[in-house]
Chains A and B, each alone.
Chain A
Amino acid sequence: MSASPARVAAPLPKRGGVGLKADHVDQILAERPDLGFFEIHAENYMGDGGPAHRRLEAIRARYPLSLHGVGLSIGSPRPLDKDHLKRLAALAERYQPGLFSEHLAWSSHDQGFLNDLLPLPYTRETLATVCDHIDETQQALGRRMLLENPSTYLLFTESTIAETDFLAEIARRTGCGLLLDVNNVIVSATNHGFDALAYLDAFPLRHVGEIHLAGYADAEDDAGRPLLIDAHDSPVRDGVWALYAETIRRLGPTPTLIEWDNDVPAWPVLFAEARRAELAMARALGAGAGKELRHAV
């Protein structure tokens, strides 16, 4: 394989992006769609070589990249996996992503890697552990990371800190940024019966470096109440678009990713969803400009 072209870790443009899927790469390279960035799940590129890396090299030579980890288990009481940190650092070194993000969740325990983003209680104790893990991660990667708010299906009786306060305090203590997943806000708000706008009011928006949007699936809990599942298998819903517009009005232009990881559609459908995000961002900014101006005056 030829040497990689020299590249710089350009920050992600404040535009729409999508998750990179193997089946789309040929068409993307042929058509060069006008898109802000691609995001990858870091763990899918932890093989030594082969077609996955060849595709990613080709994409990275043409587009900015966001590196999104799904397996570090930052929210676990156990120490972080040092080998996994090394693998993440090697990927970041090789591909020079504009940003690296991970989740406020855990996924590994004695049984092994459980392959889901599992919830944790929010207490003084868990806060200290998560902050230690983020310090360690940022040190290992030599860069600031973003931490993503989770979608959750249940709460812990022992939690004493609101999720937004928990995230704000993590950002304050570690200097990390935040990834605001607007779909996760809608999912959790519905599942726990809180007001999504109130969550947004309480969210420390000044730390947000990226937004995620996705589709959810509908289910019910034991009492027959709606239970939304963060499924990433369908178009973004109207309520999510509405909260996104409000987020952009408050936050200004922000890199925005469409996550569609299951039942992945044909490339034009996914691309159209990213363009819709860009349009929604532009509209929200246009509508919000007057308000911002009044604030400035």
Chain B
Amino acid sequence: MPFESTIDVFARALSDPARPVPPQTMGREGRPDAHRFAVYRNNVAVGLIGAIEARYPVTRRLVGDAFFRAMARAYVAEEKPRSPVLIHYGAGFADFVARFEPARAIAYLPDVARLENAWVEAYHAAEAAPLTLAALGKIDPGEFGALRFSPHPAARLLRVSHPAASIWAGHQGAGEPRPPESWRAEDALVTRPEADVLVRVLPHGGYEFAFALFAGATLAEAAETSADEGFDPGSHVVGLIEAGAIERIR
């Protein structure tokens, strides 16, 4: 059998347990051996499940090891990595969790998974020195309204309908988890100005403002995203800079 066909049969049988052990393989008896082929099937599944477990530790803690493993097993059966760079694998897991029937009762679970994915993306993002308040201080305040900013490569904005950031924060460390102080939707900002990934909850209006700035709006344009009387764009931009969310003035 040509090389291509042999590998094709092998690969299909690996991914589909209903298929027979490839007939062109053999154990010591000279015939296909289910235990032997199962080692490869198991390696593929266990390796990919391990990648999902490593990426979503709080999601795993929330549902327990056995439930998470079953959920991850279903995900890896459906979604194989498109690249050998596994640090990018599992980015779509939150959407899968949202569709995963047995997890439907835990409505906040996909949001926590979204936050954990943003955390991993920030962790591996490119290095860049963030903009400092000192650098902003050198600019004539009369020009502030026309300023545009480039977001830091690690900065991620997240709007979720549950207190996912507070749940996530309450599950850091080995101690007893802390419940969120109030049960409400949260907007989160994930940054990594230096080595450590930082997660913070944005104040009211902060998400729309930051979203507009990151999309290339001027400071004045971004300020118009809020209809609130007392909205102070200055405090929001200072907050973003202090979080390391902005790389530079464009």
A residues apposed to B, CB below 8 Å: 1, 43-44, 46-54, 70-73, 76-78, 81, 83-84, 87, 106-116, 118, 120-121, 123, 125-126, 129, 153-158, 191-193, 219-223, 225, 227, 229
| Shortest distance from the beta carbon of B64 to any chain A beta carbon, whole Å | 21
Decide if B33 is an interface residue (CB 8 Å cutoff). yes
Write the chain A residue with the least CB distance to B81: A113
Residue of A110, A153, A227 most packed against chain B (CB within 10 A): A153
Extra contacts besides A50-B195, A154-B33, A223-B29 (5): CB < 8 Å = A50-B122, A51-B196, A125-B2, A153-B40, A221-B36
Residue of A47, A73, A123 most packed against chain B (CB within 10 A): A47
Residues A48 and B7 in contact in the complex (CB < 8 Å), given A113-B81, A115-B51:
no
Is the Cβ of B87 less than 8 Å from the Cβ of A47?
yes
Decide if B66 is an interface residue (CB 8 Å cutoff). no
Residues A158 and B24 in contact in the complex (CB < 8 Å), given A77-B7, A219-B35, A227-B35:
yes
Is the Cβ of B4 less than 8 Å from the Cβ of A43?
no
| Shortest distance from the beta carbon of A193 to any chain B beta carbon, whole Å | 5
Is the Cβ of B40 less than 8 Å from the Cβ of A155?
no
The total of interchain contacts (Cβ-Cβ below 8 angstroms) comes to 165
| Shortest distance from the beta carbon of A19 to any chain B beta carbon, whole Å | 16
Residues A116 and B80 in contact in the complex (CB < 8 Å), given A109-B11, A223-B29:
no
Report chain A residues within 8 Å CB of B26: 154-157
7 CB contacts below 8 A, A to B, read A51-B195, A70-B84, A76-B7, A111-B80, A115-B44, A129-B3, A219-B39
List the 5 closest pairs (A to B, CB-CB), nearest first: A71-B84, A47-B124, A112-B80, A109-B11, A48-B126
Decide if B43 is an interface residue (CB 8 Å cutoff). yes
The 8 Å CB contact of A52, one of B14, B82, B86, B124, is B124
Decide if B149 is an interface residue (CB 8 Å cutoff). no
Question: How far apart sit A222 and B44, CA to CA, in the bound complex (Å)?
Answer: 20
Is the Cβ of A222 less than 8 Å from the Cβ of B34?
yes
Question: How far apart sit A112 and B90, CA to CA, in the bound complex (Å)?
Answer: 13
Write the chain A residue with the least CB distance to B47: A115
Is the Cβ of B43 less than 8 Å from the Cβ of A112?
no
Interface residue tally on B, bucketed by range: 35 or more
B residues apposed to A, CB below 8 Å: 1-4, 6-8, 10-12, 14-15, 24-29, 32-37, 39-40, 43-44, 47-48, 51, 80-87, 89, 122-128, 153-154, 192, 195-196
Report chain A residues within 8 Å CB of B192: 50
Residue of B27, B80, B153 most packed against chain A (CB within 10 A): B27
Residues A50 and B36 in contact in the complex (CB < 8 Å), given A114-B14, A115-B86, A156-B26:
no
| Shortest distance from the beta carbon of A202 to any chain B beta carbon, whole Å | 19
Residues A222 and B81 in contact in the complex (CB < 8 Å), given A46-B87, A114-B14, A120-B7:
no
Is the Cβ of A220 less than 8 Å from the Cβ of B35?
yes
Write the chain B residue with the least CB distance to A54: B195
Is the Cβ of A221 less than 8 Å from the Cβ of B86?
no
Is the Cβ of B123 less than 8 Å from the Cβ of A84?
no
Is the Cβ of B36 less than 8 Å from the Cβ of A153?
yes
Write the chain A residue with the least CB distance to B3: A77
Question: How far apart sit A6 and B32, CA to CA, in the bound complex (Å)?
Answer: 54
Report chain B residues within 8 Å CB of A72: 84
Report chain B residues within 8 Å CB of A78: 4
Question: How far apart sit A43 and B80, CA to CA, in the bound complex (Å)?
Answer: 16
Question: How far apart sit A149 and B144, CA to CA, in the bound complex (Å)?
Answer: 63
Residues A125 and B3 in contact in the complex (CB < 8 Å), given A111-B15, A111-B80:
yes
Question: How far apart sit A115 and B127, CA to CA, in the bound complex (Å)?
Answer: 28
Question: How far apart sit A46 and B89, CA to CA, in the bound complex (Å)?
Answer: 12
